[in-house]
Structure 1
Amino acid sequence: MDQPTVPFVVFGYGSLIFKPPPHVISRVPGYLKGYVRRFAQRSPDHRGTEESPGRVVTLIHQEDWNEFSPSDPFPDTDIVWDPVYGGEVRGLLDIREAAGYTLEEVDVYGVGPAGEEVVVAHKAQVYVGRKDNPAFVADESLEDIATVIWRSIGPSGPNKDYLYHLGAAIRELAPESHDSHLSVLESLCREWDQERLLN
């Protein structure tokens, strides 16, 4: 006899948006409170190598990120909207998010029919980067981060493709959101792409 399944709900803020795991049954735009999304996670396994790690996004608690805010021109000015994914994929995600992420439970917020703030998912799972994890990187300028992203390539492809796919997916799924950190990095990398084409 099959056991009843319980939906596994996870908040996706990076590659889970444009490359969801299998068995997704729904997605809902939503946002978190008290976190920032930053390209502050080394990627030695997907978007870079051990010798030259790329950068991927991580969520970090706002109070932890405040230590690094002097080097961040956008410390907490944006509301970051992303989709929630459901499915029985915890095991796959634990492998995929193994490099320095900690699993937490959070409420995900959205906007109700009358424009009011509502909780769209209670106790969703989210993989958060902690400042003490070995892959965490902080205190890099936006230009330094963009340079690493633009140059890095790993088994999952060019690091800048990750950035471009993430930007495109967010614009499609939650056009009302704005992530200044992401936008500046994307603009810098696209500018360098254009310069390379012209040279």
Structure 2
Amino acid sequence: MFNSQDHRGTPTAPGRVVTLIERSFWASLADSHDSAPEKVWGTAYRIKAEHVTEVAEYLDIREINGYTIHYTPFHPADGSAPIRTLVYIGTPDNDQFVGPQDPQALAEHIQQSEGPSGLNRDYLLELEKALNELSPESGDAHVTDLSNRLREIERRIQNSGAKVAVHEPPEPMSHEFTKVSNMDEQEQTKKV
């Protein structure tokens, strides 16, 4: 987990977000969730040629501090040909890296965190939903465990009669990203 001081938390009360790290670095950590699948599930986006420079500059600002750029094959869930993608991998020297945490304490922290992009708990629950919808085998045990713990915390709060803040979801951000879902789009991505 990484601190989120500008999206799902604040500098004085950072939230938690996930990131990709190298398997060799992960293997050096002691974590309550001691197994990780060989696959990492996600979504590939095709950037229109006229927006590549703009998007790359934005991502470099957002991701480059404590991340390295890697190019890797992305294997669509439908079994179609792999496409070459750019990913940002978190590095051990990233000052936002939190490292392994007790899952219950982490779920409690997430339940209480909020930042300019919204509630940290919404981020976690939407991440779980998105991962589960990618493919029948795409769920993540760590994310699901944290989500289940979060839901139990929320049930306890509601049963205690305490007021739980209800927030409207933020308006979706406008962007030029396109989900790559068919062979024609994959071919276009390769040509760009």
| Common topology (TM > 0.5) | yes
Q: Gapped runs of 5+ residues in structure 2?
A: 161-192
Query: Does the 8 Å contact 2:104/2:146 carry over to 1?
Result: yes
- Structure 1 or 2: more strand by fraction: 1
> 1:99: Cα distance to partner?
4.9
Q: Which amino acid aligns with 1:74?
A: D
CA RMSD, aligned part only? Answer: 2.0
Query: Does the 8 Å contact 1:101/1:130 carry over to 2?
Result: yes
| 1:13 corresponding residue in structure 2 | none
For the residue of structure 1 that corresponds to 2:105, the secondary structure is helix
Give the total of aligned pairs: 154
Q: Which amino acid aligns with 1:97?
A: E
Distance 1:112 1:54, change over 3 A: closer
Distance 1:86 1:137, change over 3 A: same
Q: 1:198 aligns with which of 159, 162, 180?
A: 159
TM-score normalized by the length of structure 2: 0.72
Q: 2:103 aligns with which of 139, 142, 152?
A: 142
Query: Does the 8 Å contact 1:47/1:154 carry over to 2?
Result: yes
- Is structure 2 residue 93 aligned with structure 1 residue 127? no
Distance 2:22 2:151 in 1: 29
Q: Deviations over 1:85-130 (max 9, x none)?
A: 11132222223335533222111224565xxxx75212x1111111
> 1:146: Cα distance to partner?
1.4
> 1:195: Cα distance to partner?
1.5
Distance 1:64 1:193, change over 3 A: same
Identity within the alignment, %: 37
| 1:104 corresponding residue in structure 2 | 70
Query: Does the 8 Å contact 1:101/1:128 carry over to 2?
Result: yes
For the residue of structure 2 that corresponds to 1:60, the secondary structure is coil
Q: Which amino acid aligns with 1:191?
A: E
> 1:154: Cα distance to partner?
0.7
- Is structure 2 residue 41 aligned with structure 1 residue 75? no
Distance 1:129 1:119 in 2: 27
> 1:78: Cα distance to partner?
6.0
| 2:6 corresponding residue in structure 1 | 45
- Is structure 2 residue 53 aligned with structure 1 residue 91? no
TM-score normalized by the length of structure 1: 0.70
- Structure 1 or 2: more helix by fraction: 2
Q: Gapped runs of 5+ residues in structure 1?
A: 1-39
Q: 1:173 aligns with which of 130, 134, 143?
A: 134
Q: Deviations over 1:60-86 (max 9, x none)?
A: 011111111x32323324633211111
Q: Which amino acid aligns with 2:63?
A: E
